[in-house]
Amino acid sequence: MALYTSLVILLITLLSIFYYQSQEKLMFSNQRAELSKYAYIQTKRLKVLHYFFPERTTYPRDPRFKSAIYDIEYKKIFSLLENENIHFNEEIYRAGNYIHFVKLLDTYYLGTKYLIIEVPEDMAWKKEAWKQIAIGSVLAFILFMVFGLILARLFLKPMRDSIVLLDRFIKDTTHELNTPLSAILTNIEMMDTDVMAEKNKKKLNRINIAAKTVSQLYKDLTYLTLKQEQKDHKEEIELQGLIRDRIEYFTALANTKQLYFELDTENVIIHADKQKITRVIDNLLSNAIKYNKRGGTISIKLRIGSLEVSDTGVGIDEEKIPFIFDRYMRFNQSEGGFGVGLSIVKKILDEYHIKIEVYSTINKGTKMVLTW
Amino acid sequence: MRLIQKLLFIVVLFTAILSAQNVYERNCVPCHKDLSTSLQQMFKKYLLVYSGEQNVKAGIIHYLQYPNRSISVMSKLFIESFGIKKKTTLSPEELNRAVDIYWEKFKVFNKLK
């Protein structure tokens, strides 16, 4: 839009310049006829003066114009001009607020080769031209903008339609996923594992883990498509409790890799939207589990003003660290996911002005430090 | 004795008068005073054709050195009546000086008002 507007302004400016120049040429052309007449009259007077010289020495004057005479060597013979800046090679030109007309004489009366006729410039044409340019420019600008808008709407309509369709589809699908996922998770929790055969217990656990992974993805997707449109519901969050809840939620997943949680937490309260902070903790824990080694450790240290989540996993290349918060950026293709988790984390943290720092060593682990 | 004194006085006076006259007055004015057209009028004819100082001077000098009917600024009637002049006997320096004096005497500059 800005590019189109700039182009329109450029086009209007160019047209205005052309119009102004054409009006100027028109003015000069009108003046030329008038000044030629004056030059003719003055030449006749010079002729008379030449024959009566030196008995008569009064240079002929005319109230309609001023004039000057110069010889073939551009030497001034006599001048009444207000502006002495003369361009001998031009026929008609502007000199300050005056118009000069240069007439070359064939017979050099009193030695005159160049007769210069000077009249004050009539500014009326300029005012009229500026008025026309101003009105024309405004009208042209409006016309171009309306035309541009219509064109843009016409060209963008199919694209907008597909975006709206896709957006609606994602929102509907996300919404529809909620019910079956809740049903699966609730039913797993309700199952009586005591009477279950060991073989089935393992199978149920796997179903539980898979359902929680899908649930995690569902929550990320929900946040991206639906939650953004909702208002912030700030409340007092007791972080220590929330972290414990989320660890418990991920226990089944962590157990598959035989991971061990090291907790060093203090009682910390922050004022934020609970769902958003849960998304942050879930993503940090889920990453620490996903990219950890079998039998590794996840350390969580909570203090007033800071939270540290460390794993003993594969680590990230130092040069890749600045890009880990970009959406769809995944450094380890072996694990599932869309690469949206950390971008959501960054977005939420930025919203609450919480700083995040990443320290990582390949094959040793990663430490995420949040400070506020 | 008195006659000698008188003669001497006349010679001295004549020499003084002659030496007071410049190259232009000695060589141009005497011949032109008998013509129907004055030196002033001739100057204006040169101006009509040659315009600027350098042009006018060059035109006059060339004509005086190589007088020719075809390049004369004078009218046909004038030439038929008086003919064309003989080639100048003045040296180029004298000629230049004479023409300079002629220009200064009749030029239009600073005479219009």
Whether ipTM exceeds 0.85: no
Quick one: average pLDDT of B99-106?
A: 93
Tell me: pLDDT of B15 over 60: no
Alpha-carbon separation of residue A338 from A138, A162, A170, A207, A315 (angstroms) = 50, 22, 15, 21, 19
DSSP state of A94: E
Tell me: pLDDT of A335 over 80: no
Tell me: pLDDT of A334 over 80: no
Best probe of the A interface among B51, B75, B104, by most A CBs < 10 A, is B51
Alpha-carbon separation of residue A139 from A19, A116, A146, A310 (angstroms) = 15, 42, 11, 65
CB B52 within 8 A of CB A71: yes
| Mean pLDDT of chain A, nearest integer | 89
Quick one: average pLDDT of A2-15?
A: 92
Residue A176: the pLDDT is 83
Tell me: pLDDT of A111 over 90: yes
Measured between beta carbons, which residues in chain A are less than 8 angstroms from residue B108?
53, 77-78, 110-111
Name the band, by pLDDT with cuts 50, 70 and 90, for residue A83: very high
Tell me: pLDDT of B7 over 80: no
Q: Choose from A34-38, A204-208, A283-287, A350-354 the range with maximum mean pLDDT.
A: A34-38
Tell me: pLDDT of B13 over 70: no
pLDDT digits 0-9 by tens, B33-67:
878 888 999 999 999 999 999 999 999 999 999 99
Give the SS3 label for residue B3: helix
Quick one: average pLDDT of A188-212?
A: 85
pLDDT digits 0-9 by tens, A91-102:
999 998 999 999
Chain A, chain B: beta-carbon pairs less than 8 Å apart: 58
As a whole number of angstroms, the distance between CA A79 and CA A196 comes to 122
> Interior CA angle at A263 toward A273 and A282, to 5°?
35
User: B44 — phi, psi (to 5°)?
Assistant: -65, -35
CB A121 within 8 A of CB A94: yes
Quick one: average pLDDT of A299-324?
A: 88
Q: What percentage of residues in chain A have a pLDDT greater than 70?
A: 95
Alpha-carbon separation of residue A277 from A181, A235, A280, A343, B48 (angstroms) = 22, 11, 5, 14, 103
B56 close to A (CB below 8 A): yes
What's the whole-model pTM score? 0.54
Tell me: pLDDT of B12 over 60: no
Residue B19: the pLDDT is 53
Quick one: average pLDDT of A274-278?
A: 88
Measured between beta carbons, which residues in chain A are less than 8 angstroms from residue B55?
72-73
Pull the structure tokens for residue B80.
């038929």
CB contact under 8 A, A72 and B48: no
Residue A230: the pLDDT is 66
Name the band, by pLDDT with cuts 50, 70 and 90, for residue A228: low
Give the SS3 label for residue A367: strand
Give the SS3 label for residue A65: strand
As a whole number of angstroms, the distance between CA B69 and CA B80 comes to 10
CA distance B86 to chain A (A): 27
Q: Position A332: which residue type?
A: N
Quick one: average pLDDT of B77-89?
A: 88
Residues of A with CB under 8 A from a CB of B: 50-51, 53-54, 57-59, 71-73, 75, 77-78, 107-113
Residue A200: the pLDDT is 87
